[in-house]
Structures are given as C-alpha cells and as structure tokens.
A and B are shown apart, each in its own frame.
Chain A
Amino acid sequence: MSDFRAMFVGFPDFNVSENFFPDINLQEKLNWAEEFIQNVLIPRLPEAVAAHFPVELGTVLVMFACAGIFVGVVPLLPLFLVLAERKVAARFQNRTGPMRVGPWGTLQTLADGIKLIFKEDFIPPQGDKLLFLLAPYIIFACSFAVFAAIPFGQNILVSPFNIGIFYIMAISSVIVMGVIMAGWSSNSKWSLLGSLRSAAQIVSYEIPLGLSILTVVMLVESLNMQEIVASQSNGVFSWLIFRSPFTFIAFFIFFISSIAEVNRTPFDLPEAESEIVAGFHTEYSGMRFALFFIAEYANMFAVSAIAVTLFLGGWEGALPGYDILGGLPGFVIKTLALVFLMMWLRWTLPRLRVDQLMNLCWKYFIPIAFFNILGTGIWGLIFPEDTLVSTIISCAIIYIGLIVAYTIAGRTLAQKPEPQPS
C-alpha cells in the first residue's frame, strides 16, 4: 500500500484538513451528536445550566439541525444545476441560453422558482387527493435521505453508517413508490403510463446497479462509505476504477444504470415529452412540481457523488495526501464533472425504445455484471492486497482491453448499418 506514498514523498504537504474542521472522529463514534454535546457544548455553558442540560433532547435537536442544514443547502444545488443544464444545452445547440435575468442569465432559476411558488397548486378533482398531495414529499424525502450517507470530505458526513452504501440503495429504491403514487393518484393516462414505465425501468436497472456496487464491496470488504474512500487514498491509481479490470467495467455499468435510475436521456422514457407529455408528474403544478424538479436534480448530483465515492476516490485527491479542505473541493469538482457528463449525454444521444432499454439491461448489463462479480472474486483471490504489481497488471489489462474494444467496435460499426425496428 505504501508504494505510491514513497513516489510522492518530495511534494509539499498541503493537507490542512486535520485542523480545519472540528476534530470529531466520525468513523468510530456512532452517536457523534451526543459526543458533540458532551465534549464541545457543555464545557462552554454556565455551570448551573450545564448540570441540568437535557443531553438526549439536545442530541435529537443537533441531529435535526444537521438534517435542516442539508434540507436547506441541497435545494441550492438544483438552483445551480438547472441553470447549468440550460446553459450546456444552449451551447450544444449553438445558442446562448437564458441571458435576461441577472448577469448572463444567472438569476433565471431563482426567477423561475419564485414564479413556481406563486402558481396555482392544482389538484385533479377526479384523482386521489391524499396520495396526490403525499407523493412529492416521498420522492423529495428519499432523494434527500441519500445525502445523509455520502461523505463529502474527511469529516463532512452526516451519519457514518456502517452499512452506508446498502442504506443508499435501500432508500433510493423507495423513490419508485413515490413515482407510482404520483402516477396513480393523478387519474391521467399519461401519468399512469409514465409511472409504470418509470417503475419498470428503475426496478430493472437496480439489479446491474447493485451488482456493480457489489464488485467494489468485495474488494474493499466493507459497506461503510468512509472505509471505501479510505481504501483509495494512495493517489489516482489506487482509485477503485483502476483497482482491477472488473471494477473498470463495473464503473461504466454503474454510471449508465444510474442515468437510467434518474430517468434522464437516453433513458427518459418515463417522461418522454413527445409520447406521454411529462410522465408521472404531468398533473402537478406550482410548488409540488418544483419539488419533483428539485428531487430530480438532487438525484442526479447524488448518483454522481456515489459514483465518485465508489470508483473515483471520493474526497481523496489525485495525488496521495492532496485532500485540501478535508477533500470537499476535490469531491465537488469530480462530482460536477460526472454531472456534466450526464448533461452531455442528454443533449447528444436520442431516446431509446422500450425494448432496447430492457434488452440493454437484461441481456447485456446483468450478464456482464455477473461476469464482473465472478472475475472480482478471482482477482481478490490472486491479489488479496492492493500492491504496485496488481495495479500495473490491472492498468495494462484495461489499456489492452480498451484498444481491442475500440478496434472491434470500429470494425463492426463500419460493416453493419443499424438494424431497423421490426
């Protein structure tokens, strides 16, 4: 493990993270909120108050405050991402995008948000009112609960779950329920069709997604997000994507399946504008529609963040020890790069058909993902430790594999035209 550290010994040490954030060891303490109250808050209170301080109640309040920070900060992400998406789309289509509100149109999303707040909150009179009102909250809450387990930096993590990545999978599988609820309660055929498509898609793509996460878990031997990040601390070649040829494949399966999970082009059948208006949220208006919108962009950021954590080193820098400010800036840059990749794909590729979508998942991704698991098991037997030798062999195989794949793909694409739909 120390081979890479030795290579970079000459570089100056920019690691200031140890002093930058309060020293609460999140990895070992399960109940850090109580720790915070006992060690940080109580010593600073007057003695008369400190003696009767309700620690348990305080613990809950601190936890609520932390959740509040997330619920307050994370909606700011979509505010920025929606604008980014519109600007990126405009650039891809040789336009300028929103330019009127604020300098270079930077306040456009804010204006749109204010407009959405003041719009009428229409509820379809024939629909199921209770479920119609409830559905956006379920989707919103689940999208945000995912952020609780994502390590944004060395000590920037809401909850150091022991089962981190498994919890994320569990919570994000509940989003389907919200989608079905929204589609069913709208009493509209577009909504119902959209929600059924969405549910079928999410349930299908959860399998390759879970299987590619499993390859990572097999190599790291932990479900804890911080431990997964910690195992990638030796620079760019210790990132799990380069750890073995199989995790390299797993990364691409994970990323493409994630795009399908968040219903974006080329997998945006559930909200295909030209076919079913807007899918499951057709009947929603005003702030409830905004909740879906925020959740969609928060989801996009979340899956990118998970991909970064699992495969691209998380908050660890590209060189060992270069995790400036607890690794937060590096993490955000990497995540935004993946988000940009998603936008790029959206504005470049056409939409798939339903049968193509399902074929891709069941006939290609799932068998490849199973092959990956088998391969990772064998790889783990041959190289139980991540050493210099295993990294060199892995990178060599990836390099040769890429060249072979490129040649074969080039030849087959040159020979055969796309088959027509039957």
Chain B
Amino acid sequence: MEFTLKNFIFYGFALMTVASALLVVTVRNIVHAAFSLMVTLFGVAGLYVFLQADFLAATQVIVYVGGILVLILFGVMMTSGRLEMRIHVERGQLLLGGIVSLALLTLLLTVIANTPAWKNLTDDGTELPPTTERIGELILNGPFLLPFEVVSVLLLVALIGAALISRKEVRE
C-alpha cells in the first residue's frame, strides 16, 4: 500500500472511530461509554469531511454530539442517582445483540463486495462543488420534497407531544 498523507489521515480517522466504538461496548462505566461515543461520532464526522461531505459532517456533530449525546448523558445523570453506574450484560442480551450485529455485518460486507469500483473522487485532484447547494436542491426542489415534508410534520408532532407532556396542569 502506498503511504500518502491521504491514507494517513483516512486510517487515522478510521482507527479513532473503530477504537472508540470498541470502547463504547466494552467499557463498564456508562458515562465513559457515552464520552467514547462522542469520539466515535467525531471520527465519523472526520471521515465525512474526508469525503468532502462537509455539510453532512457538521450536521453529524450538531445532531449527534450536541443533541442526542447530551440527552443520553442527561438521562443517565438524572435517573441514576449515584455517580457510579455499572452495566451488567445478561446472556440473553448478549445472544440477541450478537444476532443483530452479525446481521448488520453481513449486510455491510455484501454491500462492500457488490459495489463495483471504489474510486476516491478526490484522487485526481478535482475539487467537488459544495454539497449544500445540491442537498438544498434535492430536498426542496427535487425528488426528496415529500419525504422532507413528512419528516417535518413528524418532528412537529413530536414537538407538540413533548410540550403537552411537560406542561403544567392548571385547574380552575
């Protein structure tokens, strides 16, 4: 394998993602697992940047790190009551989890094997046009308009539901 800067960066991010993902599932302390998930998500964002999908990378960080991970940590801290929290994995969970992971692995390997040519678009030195414009066109003016609107309505319903659950009951 040719050792270039691009390879170095790619394998750096890949190593970061895989190693921290391994930590997420092996570490006993749930807060440590959450923080190593942060590293994993950052690594994936880095891989997106490497593929010149800058918008996707920033979205990844803003949604997963800034939103979902904070929610996870909030949930842990609000519910556990003590700072020490250990996870116990039972045999049934292990089996079920193993089946799901194996299925996912098979799926991914099939996709990788059936993709005809792995060509990195940036190898020939061309710089891709910004992705934001194409994403905007596709979502608001193209084939993905309907799914986009459906998702918007779904999120709106979730928002109203959350407001309804958390509001104070006022009795006259």
Contacts and interface: CB of A to CB of B under 8 A. Distances in A.
Contacts, number: 78
B32 A177 contact: no
Nearest to A203: B70
A163 to B, nearest CB: 5
17 contacts: A130-B32, A131-B35, A162-B130, A163-B58, A170-B57, A170-B61, A171-B61, A173-B62, A173-B65, A174-B65, A177-B35, A177-B66, A177-B70, A192-B77, A203-B67, A203-B70, A223-B132
Interface in A186-213: 187, 192, 196, 199-200, 203, 206
A161 interface: yes
Given A162-B54, A177-B38, A199 B132 contact: no
Contact of B66 (A30, A161, A173, A187): A173
A-B residue pairs, 5 tightest by C-beta: A173-B66, A56-B5, A170-B61, A170-B58, A170-B62
Given A176-B70, A206-B66, 9 more contacts: A163-B130, A163-B132, A166-B58, A169-B62, A170-B58, A174-B65, A176-B66, A177-B65, A192-B77
Contact of A181 (B5, B35, B62): B35
A410 B124 CA distance: 66
A239 to B, nearest CB: 24
Interface in B43-75: 54-55, 57-59, 61-62, 65-67, 69-70, 73-74
B90 interface: no
Interface of B: 4-5, 31-32, 35, 38, 54-55, 57-59, 61-62, 65-67, 69-70, 73-74, 77-78, 83, 127, 130, 132
Interface residues of A, number: 31
B65 A56 contact: no
Contacts of A196: 74, 77-78
Contacts of A180: 70, 73, 77
A184 interface: yes
Contact of A131 (B32, B69, B74, B77): B32
A174 B32 CA distance: 16
A230 to B, nearest CB: 16
Interface of A: 30, 56-57, 59-60, 128, 130-131, 161-163, 166-167, 169-171, 173-174, 176-177, 180-181, 184, 187, 192, 196, 199-200, 203, 206, 223
A354 to B, nearest CB: 15
B58 A162 contact: no
B160 to A, nearest CB: 13
B74 A184 contact: no
Contact of B54 (A128, A161, A187): A161
Nearest to A57: B5
A177 B69 contact: yes
Contacts of A177: 35, 38, 65-66, 69-70, 73
Contacts of A60: 5
Nearest to B6: A56
